[in-house]
Structure 1
Amino acid sequence: MAGPVSATGRQVSVTEVSPRDGLQSEKVFVPTQDKIRLVESLVAAGIRSVELTSFVSPRAVPQMRDAAELVRHFRGRAGVRFSALVPNLRGAEAAIEAGIDAVVMFASASESHNLKNVNRSRADSMAGFRQIARIAEEAGVALHGAIATAFGCPFEGDVPVGNLVDQARRYRDLGISRITLGDTTGMATPGNVVPVLDALRTAVPEVGIALHFHNTRGVGLACAYAGLLHGIRDFEASVGGIGGCPFVPRATGNIATEDFVYMCEESGFPTGIDLGKLIEAAGTAERILGRELPGQVMKAGPRLALSSMDVVRTANG
């Protein structure tokens, strides 16, 4: 188990994934200019790492068909790191050509989900990553790795921790220094997060770990807090709580960025993000999508956002 956390080691980094994971399942195409408007509002709130899009087949994920246009728009933006998910060499080449800052290779910890998600075996995905690592290094583009279904698979159930360890070691051997554990299916619990973290810290202590939780069963923030107490300082979240994997049954959204930032700041884990402006960004997302979003802090506001007594009626009787 992790020991007590020092005050100097409490700074939390947040990667915003709403432009990619948040929008990928939307049935109606979100105009590129609206995506740009959303990202600009997030950057204005102090977000400094954005997973902007994914370079996947437009037939598989139509929402991502403007990936290159988005990357070109934000290319060279000082002070913000933009990343893109790439499932194969073709996607990596397109992302690098467009000018992305970092590419994120991903494969599932379970064979079934990998077949559904990218139509490839886990072995084929990992074999293809060697070429991606080579061209990223040649182009001077940062390289990250992600493990989907890290805490459970909707088709196979619990995933052996050995699968995660093997995949993490393969990523490390490709020169990757940051690995995201994705709770793609919302099957994580505070109780199964910690053993996975312990196993990976033992197997690949030189690799940084980020956590990405979905709120499918209402315990996403509890899982994130377990990670915080266990020393993790790198998280991914989606403003308003939007998102979900299109290749997972009964999928729902990610933990809401504004809810996570509120929890961190109120618990003594600074993020450097302006919560008020982040709530405004959540409102922008809600207006773009035209429906109420599941985030809670965007509705209630910060804890000390006080109200006048005359905004509610006085009880009678």
Structure 2
Amino acid sequence: MDFGITPLGGLPLPSRVTICEVGPRDGLQNESGVLPVEVKAEFVARLVDAGHTVVETTGFVHPEWVPQLADAEDLLAAITQAPGVRYPVLVPNERGLDRALGLGVRDIAVFGSITETFAKRNLNRTVDESLEMFTPVVARAREADLRVRGYLSMCFGDPWEGDVPVPRVLDVATRMMALGCTELSLGDTIGVATPGQVVAVLDALIAAGIPVDSIAVHFHDTYGQALANTFAALCRGVTTIDASAGGLGGCPYAGSATGNLATEDLLWQLHGLGIDTGVDLRKMVDTSVWLAEKLGRPSPSRTVTALAG
């Protein structure tokens, strides 16, 4: 891994970071209204034009539960995929995988939980039952040479269960990776994490043998800690950060979950640290201003607000 920058305290930082742009799926799924497919397709195209190489595009979930994603097939058909760009799709089960394979999807994600309460609310299963459900999905996907991202929600706190012990995160995370996932995204679903918690969880996972280059972090900004938590993760060698254009997103099954870390705020931090992302901040600001007009409300991103004028 190439570390070329030394921040305060002498801790090394990576010279390049990959942003996993989750706006089209995780961001839009929490909107009360449904945008037309044409607008979603333009959104994805704008993100790619800005320089993103990983754009989580949609999900094959039941439309009754997430109506914003009911147009998944139509959206994928409307997108012209660019060379070198990955377009991951969320799949909850084997039916979702069948749909993804039928459309030539090359990157999928499964969405699990650290805590029992959220697993029941989100998947109507226990943690053990959800991992059992993912087992054939991941196995079949890997047999087809697909990349598989394993999301884990509630890694730092749960609105019903409170603080989440690090050993509990370690247990579920190692079991998820043992299924064959190629990447693990640690979610601070309700935005309660602090840098100390982030370091403790990452240290435990790395010590257990999970390669740091297979770990991503997914922060929400409920308490204004998302950028501080990102910096803590960078100092531990994490090089994949999830973010959402304009700070879109939340979680339909966790009412206290506010928006994702805004891509523009993340870019301002990373570029200020001298870390390369390949993403054009100006184009991202313009995209989020455009999308805010489509949604009928301003972007919550501070950087978008500051640069949009």
Q: Of residues 245, 261, 273 in structure 1, which corresponds to 2:279?
A: 273
Question: For residue 95 of structure 1, what is the aligned residue in structure 2?
Answer: 100
* 1:48 maps to 2:53: yes
Q: Deviations over 1:37-64 (max 9, x none)?
A: 1111111110110111111110011101
Check 1:93–1:220 CA distance in 2 against 1; reply closer, same or farther (3 A cut): same
Q: Distance in 2 between matches of 1:178 and 1:240?
A: 25
Residue 126 of structure 1, aligned match among 128, 131, 137: 131
Contact 2:264/2:284 (<8 A) preserved:
yes
Bigger mean CA offset, 170-179 vs 185-194 = 170-179
8 Å CA contact 1:18–1:243 kept in 2: the answer is: yes
Partner of 2:23: 18
Give 1:70's match in structure 2, choosing from 59, 70, 75. Answer: 75
Map of 1:216 onto structure 2: 222
Residue segments in structure 1 that go unaligned for 5+ positions in a row: 308-317
Counterpart residue number, 1:311: none
How far apart in 2 are the matches of 1:88 and 1:173? Answer: 17
In 2, the alpha carbon distance for the partners of 1:276 and 1:93 equals: 38
Answer with 1 or 2: which has the greater Rg. Answer: 1
Asked if the contact 2:246/2:299 (under 8 Å) is kept, the reply is yes
In structure 2, what is the Cα distance between the partners aligned to 1:23 and 1:201? Answer: 32
Greater displacement, 289-298 / 169-178:
169-178
Secondary structure in 2 matching 1:280: helix
Alpha-carbon distance between aligned partners in 2 of 1:205 and 1:179, rounded to the nearest angstrom: 9
CA separation of 1:17/1:228 partners in 2, compared to 1, >3 Å: closer, same or farther?
same
Q: Deviations over 1:210-237 (max 9, x none)?
A: 0010111211111111111222111000
Task: Pick from 124, 132, 141 the counterpart of residue 136 of structure 1.
Answer: 141
Aligned length: 300
Structure 1 residue 34: deviation in Å? 0.8
In 1, the alpha carbon distance for the partners of 2:80 and 2:156 equals: 34
Instruction: Determine if contact 2:299/2:305 at 8 Å carries over to the other structure.
Output: no
Superposition RMSD in Å: 1.8
Equivalent position amino acid for 2:186 in 1? L
| The one of 155, 167, 171 aligned to 1:166 | 171
Distance 2:287 2:117 in 1: 36
| Structure 1 position 139, deviation (Å) | 2.4
> If the length of structure 1 is used for normalisation, what is the TM-score?
0.90
Alignment-derived partner of residue 303 in structure 2:
297
Match of 1:104 in 2: 109
State the Cα distance separating 1:76 from its structure 2 match: 4.7
1:199 is aligned to 2:195:
no
Q: Do the aligned partners of 1:75 and 1:100 also contact (CA within 8 Å) in 2?
A: no
| 1:33 alignment counterpart | 38
Alpha-carbon distance, 1:3 to partner: 7.3
1:60 maps to what in 2? 65
State how far apart, in whole Å, the 1-side matches of 2:77 and 2:176 are: 28
- Once residues 25 and 179 of structure 2 are traced to their aligned partners in structure 1, the CA distance between those partners, rounded to angstroms, is 24
Aligned residues: percent identity?
41
What is the alpha-carbon distance in structure 2 between the residues aligned to residue 91 and residue 274 of structure 1? 33
Letter in 1 for 2:276: P
Q: Pick which of 69-78 and 286-295 moved more.
A: 69-78
Partner of 2:85: 80
Secondary structure, counterpart of 2:231 in structure 1: helix
Which one-letter code corresponds to 2:72 in the other structure?
Answer: A
Counterpart of 1:261 (choices 262, 267, 270) is 267
Displacement of 1:75 after TM fit? 6.4
**Contact 1:88–1:125 (8 Å) recurs in 2:** no
Determine the C-alpha separation between the residues in 1 that align with 2:291 and 2:219: 19
SS in 1 for 2:211: coil
Structure 2, unpaired ranges of 5+: 1-8
Letter in 1 for 2:141: A
Structure 1 stretch displaced more, 221-230 or 232-241: 221-230
Q: Is the 8 A contact 1:168 1:204 kept in 2?
A: no
1:286 maps to 2:292: yes
Whether 1:228 and 2:234 are equivalent positions in the alignment is yes
Q: Structure 1 residues 168, 36: CA separation in 2 closer, same or farther (over 3 Å shift)?
A: same
In 2: Cα distance, 1:246 partner to 1:133 partner: 24
User: Is the CA contact 2:59–2:72 (under 8 Å) kept in the aligned structure 1?
Assistant: yes
What is the CA–CA distance in structure 1 between the aligned matches of 2:243 and 2:44, rounded to whole Å?
14
State yes or no: 1:189 paired with 2:194.
Answer: yes
In the TM superposition, residue 206 of structure 1 has moved relative to its aligned partner by: 3.0
Q: Distance in 2 between matches of 1:4 and 1:191?
A: 15
